[in-house]
Amino acid sequence: MSPTESPVLLRVAGLRKSFGAHQVLESVDLTVRTGEVLAVIGSSGSGKTTLLRCLNGLEVADAGVVEVGDSLRVDFATRPPRRRLDALRDRSAMVFQHDNLFPHKTVLENVTEGPVVVQRRPAAEARADALRLLERVGLADRAGAYPSQLSGGQQQRVGIVRALALRPQILLFDEPTSALDPELVGDVLTLMRDLAEDGWTMVVVTHELPFAREVAHHVAFVDEGTIVEYGRARDVLTEPRNERTRRFIRRLLHPL
Amino acid sequence: MSPDDWHLALGSLGPIAAGAIRGTIPLALFSFAGGMAIAVLVALMRLSRHRALVAVARVYVSVIRGTPLLVQLFVVFYGLPSLGLVIDPWPSAIVAFSLNVGGYASEVVRAAILSVPKGQWEAAYVIGMARRTALRRIILPQAARVSVPPLSNTFIALVKDTSLASLILVTELFREAQKVAAFSQEFMLLYLEAAIVYWVICLALSTGQSAIERRLERYVAH
């Protein structure tokens, strides 16, 4: 089950990013193996979301290297050409905190938009693929509905299906349950656990410590733009070595 | 109204309606189509990263909004010939009206594009879309919904403004009314009749606006 032996899929070295004078990422190194789930935790403003966005080119890092598999290596020492960033983006798919579904398209159209319009797959095939994925998350009967007609949890599951339909190598999750009503969080987390069991490689920015402990293989704690602590999920979450990690976890577990 | 008045009113309805159908309505439609093409182009220029494009777009909008439509019309029809560019009344009117609508509508289009949440751009990028595709398939359809009410205002104003084309010899609704009025000397009757025909056209447009809004809002939760 643990993918500790599988080949490295994502390698990040010396990643830096600042917005104006504000240095958001100091120097981040990271390795994710195929089939591994990495949970990235840390307080808001720590840089974890920026890290995630740098992995697929939504933000362009100022320095550092991102490698995916053996074939793609993007060096940010100079601003990479658009085509390199596109290649980077095509390796992954992101699920947002707010699902960002396209409101003017039906659930099915949301899912098939990328495969048909961007990847040029045959419409019938993409459609069948999408319906199978929707079936799997229990939303096949809502294929013709518009996003506004779904609950928040359903919207987020469609957001995940939209990412899966792109057949990416890596799934990136940016606090996918933070904007949901508490009683809807479970459905989404369950789906993510199933995806992990299916062997998807996932990087998950989250505040859900129980999820991180049970599903993630490794946990990275980000503070002030660097990874302060990294290790096996159980180790980091139950016996954190770093004082800042300890304080953060205590605050999440005992908010009062 | 006397029987003679009724007779004149009904008899003049023919030429006035013909002026609307052959003049006012096609003039408004062509000008609006041209104006919208200009508007989208100018809005995208204003939103681009290239300073020169932004500057050109700003100057254009400023000139169009800062000068009277009648003056713009006269510059095209009476002014350009002195530069050796002679344009017939009809194309002159369409050029002038299109440029005018383009200036006003570009601000509507720009605001509508900006009203689409940033997350929609990002979601489009994440599924692999280039900027152009994202704009066409994701952003503009959502911007369209927001811009229908203000663009309907622009269109209705344009329908009425086409009456200015009578001053550069285009045969349209108002010019037909003027001709009958000059002949019969029944100014009040003929100009009221022209006003009513404009009003009826605009009522029809308002109905059309509601239908388009309903269609574009089918995906919005109520």
pLDDT tens digits for range A127-170 = 999 999 999 999 999 999 999 999 999 999 999 999 999 999 99
Residue A99 pLDDT = 84
Residue B204 pLDDT = 94
Residue A1 pLDDT = 46
Measuring CA to CA, how many Å separate A102 from each of A92, A116, A243, B43, B219? 19, 15, 43, 22, 10
For residues A156 and A96, what is the distance between their CA atoms, to the nearest angstrom? 8
Residue B7 pLDDT = 87
Residue A196 pLDDT = 95
For residues B113 and B102, what is the distance between their CA atoms, to the nearest angstrom? 16
Whether the predicted pLDDT of B216 surpasses 90: no
Contact B126 A93 (CB under 8 A): yes
Q: How many residues does chain B have?
A: 222
**A128: its two tokens:** 């069948």
Residue A182 pLDDT = 87
Contact A117 B129 (CB under 8 A): yes
In chain A, residues with a C-beta closer than 8 Å to the C-beta of B139 are none
User: Distance from A231 to chain B by nearest Cα, in Å?
Assistant: 29
DSSP result, A117-157: IIS---HHHHHHHHHHHHHHTT-GGGTTS-GGGS-HHHHHH
Q: Which residues pair with A229 in a beta bridge?
A: A221
> Rounded mean pLDDT of B210-219?
87
Whether the predicted pLDDT of B222 surpasses 80: no
For residues B27 and B141, what is the distance between their CA atoms, to the nearest angstrom? 26
| Residue B10 burial (10 A CB sphere; 0-12, 13-18, 19+) | exposed
CA-based nearest residue in chain B for residue A161: B127
Contact B175, B23 (CB under 8 A): yes
Indicate the Cα dihedral angle B134, B153, B207, B204, nearest 10°: -130
Q: What is the DSSP letter of A79?
A: P
> Bigger pLDDT: A45 or B120?
B120
User: Measured between CB atoms, which of A113, A146, A162 is closest to B219?
Assistant: A146
**A235: its two tokens:** 């180790």
CB environment A198-209: b (16+ within 10 A), e (fewer): eebbbbbbbebb
In chain B, residues with a C-beta closer than 8 Å to the C-beta of A118 are 127-129, 133
User: Distance from A23 to chain B by nearest Cα, in Å?
Assistant: 22
pLDDT tens for each residue of B142-153: 999 999 999 999
**B16: its two tokens:** 């006035």
Q: Which residues pair with A10 in a beta bridge?
A: A32, A68
Q: Given pLDDT bands bounded at 50, 70 and 90, which one contains residue B176?
A: very high
Element (H, E) at A87: helix A82-91
Residue B221 pLDDT = 63
CA-based nearest residue in chain A for residue B139: A102
Q: What is the pTM of this model?
A: 0.86
User: Measured between CB atoms, which of A103, A104, A114 is closest to B128?
Assistant: A114
> Rounded mean pLDDT of B34-54?
96
CA-based nearest residue in chain B for residue A94: B126
pLDDT tens for each residue of A219-249: 999 999 999 999 999 999 988 989 999 999 9
Contact A117 B126 (CB under 8 A): no
A92-95/A170-174 β-pairing: parallel
From the candidates B49, B126, B216, which should be mutated to test the interface with A, based on the most A CB atoms within 10 A? Answer: B126
Contact B128 A147 (CB under 8 A): no
| Residue A131 burial (10 A CB sphere; 0-12, 13-18, 19+) | middle
ipTM of the prediction: 0.90
pLDDT tens for each residue of B151-162: 999 999 999 999
pLDDT tens for each residue of B83-102: 999 999 999 999 999 999 99
DSSP result, A21-65: TEEEEEEEEEEEETT-EEEEE--TTSSHHHHHHHHTTSS--SEEE
Measuring CA to CA, how many Å separate B108 from each of A177, A197, A248, B39, B147? 36, 49, 47, 8, 6
Element (H, E) at A74: strand A72-75
B interface residues, A as partner, C-beta within 8 Å: 117, 119-120, 122-130, 133, 137-138, 141-142, 145, 218-221
- DSSP 3-state of A19: strand
For residues B105 and B44, what is the distance between their CA atoms, to the nearest angstrom? 12
**B86: its two tokens:** 């002679």
Q: Given pLDDT bands bounded at 50, 70 and 90, which one contains residue A256?
A: confident
A37-41/A22-33 β-pairing: unpaired
User: Measured between CB atoms, which of B124, B125, B221 is closest to A149?
Assistant: B221
Whether the predicted pLDDT of B24 surpasses 90: yes
Q: Given pLDDT bands bounded at 50, 70 and 90, which one contains residue A2?
A: low
pLDDT tens for each residue of A158-199: 999 999 999 999 999 999 998 888 888 998 999 999 999 999
